[in-house]
Amino acid sequence: MALLNGFGKEQYPNDDSYEGAFKRGARHGGGTYYHHDGSRYEGQFEEGMMEGTGRYFNSENEVFEGEWHNSQRHGRGQFTYHDGTIYDGKWQADLRHGQGLMRYADGGVFSGSWANDRRHGQGQMTFADGGQYQGSWAEDQRHGYGSLKLQNASTYDGEFVDDIPEGKGTLYDADERSQYAGEFKAGLRSGEGKCEYLKTNDKFVGQWLMGARARGLMFCADGEVERVGFLNDKLIRREKLPLQEQERLKAEAKGETYVAPDAAAKATAEPKKRSTRSEEPAEEDGIGKVAALPSLPEGPSEPIPAEERGNSKTSTAGRSASNTSTAKAA
């Protein structure tokens, strides 16, 4: 039996059939392959395999139009699902793989990276309710760092694990009108964190447990700092702190170094001057106390009478001591 070449038709034992170009008995070129379940392929063939570009209509009224390799979707192509969802992007070995755009039937849209038929890598998702997520994905879930904006204008920026906030992040709660920065667990504020309440201008810093405040410090809008405790987010304990400790905590909260008032006063006070005056020792009197030498009045000296000249040495010595004492006192 001669091998088919050129245009022809062929019926197969499983009730599939082919109509199109042949080369040496193999489907080669343009043609249409009909499956017994009602699905069909229209496009290019090479040595019996779907190769090149073509359209595939399956039994569930789904359609793929794009590139093929070894009878698998491979390259760029668009797939329309039975519910109206459309994927337009890269394929590899019959799976969505690479950059792609998915428009879901409910109105959601994903644009980003795919791997092995799952969202994986960087991508942006706009949800049907208007919420948006932009960031890292792994195995079709939000995983890694990302930014989430909800329909009510609340926002979360931080770490995700298995599609929920987990780790460190910041949350703006539009309903509560609060700004939180700290740790999350299972999607809730849990661990160390601080929260500023924009309605009251109060700020809580401390421990959180499953979305509720547990214990810590409350920086009140009036400037007071209190140590507080909560049970199920209801205040059960409050302790007013000493003023100096409050000032220290407020300074540390701003990232400043606190200097106590007494230390600051001591640092700015001028040191006392030392006295440089010293007195010359003189002869002791009979009681044993030091008698200070009398100083002579300044001014022009009077002539010494002849009868007193015999004591001139003593007088001169006294004047010299007085001058010395004056010089040292100055």
- With 50 as the cut, is the pLDDT of residue 287 above it? no
Alpha-helical (H) ranges within the chain are: 243-253, 261-268, 312-329
Distance CA 100, CA 77 (A): 10
Q: Which two tokens stand for residue 209?
A: 């447990």
Q: In angstroms, how far is the first alpha carbon of the chain from the final one?
A: 138
pLDDT, mean of residues 304-309: 39
SS (H, E, C) 120-144: EEEEEEECCCCCEEEEEEECCEEEE
Q: In 198-257, which ranges are E strands?
A: 202-209, 212-219, 225-231, 234-240
**Euclidean distance between CA atoms 286 and 305, whole angstroms:** 32
pLDDT computed for residue 271 by the predictor: 55
| pLDDT at residue 306 in the model | 39
Average pLDDT over residues 303-321: 36
Confidence at residue 264, expressed as pLDDT on a 0 to 100 scale: 56
For residue 105, name the pLDDT band (cuts at 50, 70, 90): very high
What is d(CA 68, CA 102) in angstroms, rounded to the nearest whole number?
20
Q: Is the pTM of this model over 0.85?
A: no
Measured from the Cβ of residue 325, the count of other Cβ atoms closer than 10 Å reads 19
Residue 44 burial class via C-beta count within 10 angstroms: exposed 0-12, middle 13-18, buried 19 and up: buried
281, pLDDT greater than 60: no
> With 80 as the cut, is the pLDDT of residue 72 above it?
yes
pLDDT of residue 119 exceeding 50, the answer is yes
Q: Is the pLDDT at 318 greater than 80, yes or no? A: no
Domains observed in the chain: 152-261 (2.20.110)
What pLDDT does residue 3 have? 82
